[in-house]
Structure 1
Amino acid sequence: MFLENYCQITDDKISFTRQQASDFAKQIADDFNPLHDIQAKRFCVPGDLLFSLILERAGLHKEMSFKFSGMVTDATKLTIPTEITTAASIVDDNQKEYLNMSVSGDYTKSSKTITALTRAYVEFSGHTFPHILVELMKECQVMINPTRPMIMYESMSIHLDNLDFEEVTLKLSSTTLDIDGKRGNACLSFDLVSKGQVIGNGKKFMLLSGLRDYCQETIDNIVTQYNDTKAQYLTQR
């Protein structure tokens, strides 16, 4: 269980310290979204950590879809299922839902297969900003609010042709950004590739808020600040 350092399990309840969630974002996902900083006022646990825990506990299905419905904080204690037949939810002690998922098709609990997919997806997902979204915003001539840069993970889905692999990479296949006023819905489509063959595909959906007219200088400053934060963290490790 490579995720054991990034969560706490007590009486079948899973929780996260700010340090654990932040470490996962930075060390595993290479994600420096300020929402995952320990001192962030609106701190939240990375959605990719929840996704990874689901696969590790309940297995990997050929068809899987996930929809996030709430922000998990360091004060949240979750119940995460260990088996999914068709659908399930992640809830807290008050039955508040944070994520729901649906699955179908064959599944595996092979640790090598699940770890390979988890690490590949999380690495791809963590590089969404600035690598992919900045170019997409430039194409659409909009940008996020530089003082409150809100980019939220909304949902994702994966289809696999087979589960017989122990190495896999994700390759971006297409991107779209639908704009509705000050909100934008980004869709990142990707292929799953193993040993040179496409073995599946998927989509990740993200919500961008506070959109305004694109300004290259402002975007450059946002990216520079992001890269500086990353460089400072790596230097201190």
Structure 2
Amino acid sequence: MFLENYCRISDDKISFTRQQASDFAKQIADDFNPLHDINAKRFCVPGDLLFSLILERAGLHQEMSFRFSGMVTDATTLNIPTEINSTARITDDKQKEYLNMSVAGNCTKNSQSIEALTRAYVEFSGHTFPHILVDLMQKNKVMINPTRPMVMYESMSIKLDNLDFQDITLRLSSTTLAIEGKRGNACLSFDLVSQEKIIGHGKKFMLLSGLRDYCQETIDSIVTQYNHTKAQYIAQKN
């Protein structure tokens, strides 16, 4: 279980310290979203960590879709199933829902396949900003609020032709941004590739809030600060 350092499991209940969730974001996903900083006022556990834990516990299905409905914090204790037949809800002990999902097709609990897909998806997902979103905002002449940059993970889905793979990578295929007032819904479509063959497809949806007119100077400042935070973290670890 390569995720054991990034969560606490007790009697089939899962919780997270701020340090564990932040370490996963930075060490596994290479994601320096300020929402995952241990001192963040609106701290939340990365959605990719929940996705990874579900695959590790309940297996990988050929078709899977996930929709996030609540922010998980260090005060949240979750019930994550070890088997999913068609649908499932991830809730706390008070039945508050944080994520719902549906699955179809064959299922595998092969640890090598699951870890390969998990690491490939999380790496791709963690690089959404600035690598993909800045280009998408520039094309649409909008940008996020520089003083409160809110980019939230809304949902994702994958569909695999088969589960017979050991190595896999994700390749971005297209991007769109639908804008409604000051909110935007970004869709990142990707191919799942194994041994140079496309064996599946997927989509990731993200909500962008506080949109305003695009300003290159401001975006450059946001990206510079993001890269500075990343460089500081790497320097401290070395």
| TM-score, length of structure 1 as denominator length | 1.00
What secondary structure does 2:41 align onto?
A: coil
Tell me which residue corresponds to 2:64.
64
Unmatched tracts of structure 1, length 5 or more: none
* Percentage of identical aligned residues: 82
CA RMSD of aligned residues (A): 0.2
Tell me which residue corresponds to 1:77.
77
Tell me which residue corresponds to 1:117.
117
**2:51 aligned with 1:51:** yes
How far the C-alpha of 1:229 sits from its partner, in A, is 0.1
Mapped to 1, the partners of 2:45 and 2:167 lie a distance apart of 27
How far the C-alpha of 1:145 sits from its partner, in A, is 0.1
Q: Deviations over 1:13-68 (max 9, x none)?
A: 10000000000000000000000000000000000000000000000000000000
One-letter amino acid of the counterpart of residue 86, structure 1: S
Tell me which residue corresponds to 2:126.
126
Mapped to 1, the partners of 2:23 and 2:98 lie a distance apart of 21
Runs of 4+ residues deviating >6 angstroms: none
One-letter amino acid of the counterpart of residue 184, structure 1: G
One-letter amino acid of the counterpart of residue 160, structure 2: L
Tell me which residue corresponds to 2:221.
221
Tell me which residue corresponds to 1:139.
139
Mapped to 2, the partners of 1:58 and 1:11 lie a distance apart of 16
Tell me which residue corresponds to 1:31.
31
One-letter amino acid of the counterpart of residue 2, structure 2: F
Tell me which residue corresponds to 1:164.
164
Mapped to 2, the partners of 1:136 and 1:98 lie a distance apart of 28
Mapped to 2, the partners of 1:9 and 1:63 lie a distance apart of 27
Tell me which residue corresponds to 1:175.
175
How far the C-alpha of 1:11 sits from its partner, in A, is 1.2
Q: Deviations over 1:104-133 (max 9, x none)?
A: 000100000000000000000000000000
Mapped to 2, the partners of 1:174 and 1:133 lie a distance apart of 12
Tell me which residue corresponds to 1:40.
40
Count of residues paired in the alignment: 237
Mapped to 2, the partners of 1:235 and 1:87 lie a distance apart of 43
Mapped to 1, the partners of 2:214 and 2:232 lie a distance apart of 28
One-letter amino acid of the counterpart of residue 193, structure 1: V
One-letter amino acid of the counterpart of residue 2, structure 1: F
Mapped to 2, the partners of 1:12 and 1:123 lie a distance apart of 27
Mapped to 2, the partners of 1:216 and 1:25 lie a distance apart of 27
Unmatched tracts of structure 2, length 5 or more: none
Mapped to 2, the partners of 1:93 and 1:33 lie a distance apart of 28
Tell me which residue corresponds to 2:97.
97
| TM-score, length of structure 2 as denominator length | 0.99
One-letter amino acid of the counterpart of residue 108, structure 1: T
